[in-house]
Amino acid sequence: MYEPGLDRHEWESEWQALEDDLREDPAAALPELDGLVARMLEESGYDLTDPVAREGDEREVVTEYLAAHEITQAAERDSGELSPGDVAAAINGYRAVFAHLLTIRATADADLGAADTEEA
């Protein structure tokens, strides 16, 4: 059974838990942010491995994630060329995708709640 708002609440809780890590060591927090946002995309029906999906209606969401993901991979390789600006760009990219997915999920939850009310 689908519980409206449950995924959204879990995602928000996980993001909040990562906020301290972001303040203390932003580059080190990137892999965890990447994992959370990748899971959110997957749970929202995005296929990041499908090149066609990358060119779909919401390609900017996938593009934003992939750009942040690329920076995260560079950070994991301990690239000496990674600047604070790169780290900030990745964090901002993850934040944008996170906010977009929360908005979509909130709308879907509201639509589902309205449909359940109509059926009752």
Q: Is residue 50 part of a domain?
A: yes
| pLDDT one-digit tens code per residue, 8-38 | 889 999 999 999 999 999 999 999 999 999 9
Q: Is residue 1 part of a domain?
A: no
Residues 6+ apart with CB under 8 A from 55: none
Q: Is residue 45 part of a domain?
A: yes
Indicate whether this model's pTM tops 0.85: no
Q: Is residue 47 part of a domain?
A: yes
Residue 114: give the domain boundaries: 6-119
Mean pLDDT of the chain: 84
Q: Is residue 100 part of a domain?
A: yes
Cβ atoms 70, 59 nearer than 8 A: no
Q: For the chain, how many structural domains are there in total?
A: 1
Q: Is residue 23 part of a domain?
A: yes
Cα–Cα distance list, 1 to 4, 6, 14, 67 (Å): 10, 11, 22, 35
Q: Cα separation of 65 and 111, whole Å?
A: 26
Residue 40 has pLDDT above 80, yes or no: yes
